[in-house]
Structure 1
Amino acid sequence: MDLADIRQTIDGIDTTLLNSFIERMDIATEVAKSKIEMGKAVFDPARERSKLNNLAGRAPERYEAQTIALFRLLMSMSKAEQQRYINELKGITISQKAHATAAACDTPFPQTATVACQGVEGAYSQIAACKLFDVPDIAFFETFEGVMRAVHDGFCEFGVLPIENSTAGSVNAVYDLLAQFDFHIVRSLRLKIDHNLLVKPGTKLADVREVYSHGQAIAQCAGFIESHDLHATKYPNTAMSAEMVASSGRTDVAAIASRSCATLYGLEVLESNIQDSDNNYTRFVVISREPRVYPGANRTSLMI
């Protein structure tokens, strides 16, 4: 079979899997109804262990681990759907809903998911997302609000946003949006930020007159910018500024961005680690429409 035929076969299998998945999730409501009538809890650990052992025994040995991982994830999603149905019937409070979610969510933080990030490839949000998720399916948006709306509309399961920096302080725009959207923070990451001055190949520091970057990055590199008498212009995102410099016809501009942006956009690292403080960290948060408490959770965030 050539690649086109193989892909067509895979597409057919994926369609079958999708239809079976939808059928399985739809029946979760009927399972919840039966459990309510019988007075049973959503989570039945003995039944789940027995089911997983049976499935693992029926799978080829080379796929045993993957079979367990797949069906454990399916069971977790089914339990979450059952709990959602029960919660809607009860009309429970936010506090009760949080407790119910913690009880229903017994699987680790997902390794892969659809994730919304602000900027383009090479942005610090993308770097954070790849540390938070093993294999995220990332969709990029120009603004923080675009990330929020992607999660709100169900286009993405999660969003990754910067919330505060050890040097420049809070990212106020994100705080304002958290107040506007009824979302939940389900995980966070403290990421070391090392800013670099990126230029077109052959550009010397003496040639640079204007530097582009996100306002937070500019604030974090204020000392370097001032000492070299550079004009700083705010741009929506660090990686977007690198992309803009690469496509610009000018040779007197530079971008402050991550080192990975140099490779991505054909730029050179003219100066590395130009942030004012070596202890420069940004905390990124993962937002979700639904409260989810994963094993090992040890932080509570309150909006007051």
Structure 2
Amino acid sequence: MIRDVAVLALEGSHAFELGVFCEVFGIDRSDDALPGYDFALVSATGDSVSTRHGFDVRTPHGLERLSSADLICVPAYDLRVRQPDRLAHELRAAAERGARVLSICTGAFLLGEAGLLDGRRCTTHWRYTDELARRHPRARVESDVLYVDQDPIITGAGTAAGVDTCLHVVRREHGSAVANTIARRMVAAPHREGGQRQYRERPQPREGTGSLAPVLGWIEANLDQNLTVEAMARHAHLSPRTFARRFQQEAGTTPLQWLTGQRVLLAQHHLETTDDPITAIARCTGLGTVDNLRHHFVRRLGITPQGYRRAFRAPHNK
């Protein structure tokens, strides 16, 4: 369980990515009955660092603070700024003792220098994936995902994908209800899967002429039904081929992949908040059978529905 979080502030850090870590893990939300963390901002100097944007950030803790952290976060930084060699050593030592290490954007380059990407799937901002692969040929770099979780190493893509990556970690630790509550506080999308595309051919769907937003709402309200691409296309008044193409452009994934993701999310909610039998949850989410529910749960979350319920069922609801 993650209780102690250390954010590594680097010379040339990007302020947004640094701020995402502080927003997700560094705010006391106990008044909302949300979990809190022992949070620290750490640097190699233990004094302050200069961001890429021309202002300094005070960092009251030195690298010795990493020794107790359950999660170490590495933000994006200006790759032209050379980081102290001891940082890679500290990250490698932390991973060897069992800490999780999470990077956003170019932070993955520091993980690569520590050897933590060797033999692992990983990602960074799409502009830097070729360079990451060139510098670290043993890493399995993926250019078209939002984040990759190769526990204990977690890598996120650029900028806004850092929010998705951090919320994914919260969801793994505390369940979707907690992650969704934090997302609402941040006015952020509650869940975008790691396999979604980093960038889109067209903007994210918005309400308005030509948008698929209304049909997405209709699908979410009818997850228990037999929803084929043809049925969804009819509701959108489009041919199946046009619908599938528009869906890929606007939602960043295929209709059936998105549909399955929504059904798994609904199943997570039922497993966390109800005592409904697994068979009933499989039916009401449209996944049909226990075997089908288990298949998609294990493939997407790495855990069985029963295991997920044991881990994330709120004690006061048991």
**Shared fold, TM over 0.5:** no
Say which structure, 1 or 2, has more relative contact order (CA 8 Å, 6+ apart): 1
**What TM-score range do you get, normalising by the shorter chain?**
under 0.3
Q: TM-score, normalised by structure 1?
A: 0.27
Higher strand share: 1
Q: Which has the larger radius of gyration?
A: 1
Q: TM-score, normalised by structure 2?
A: 0.27
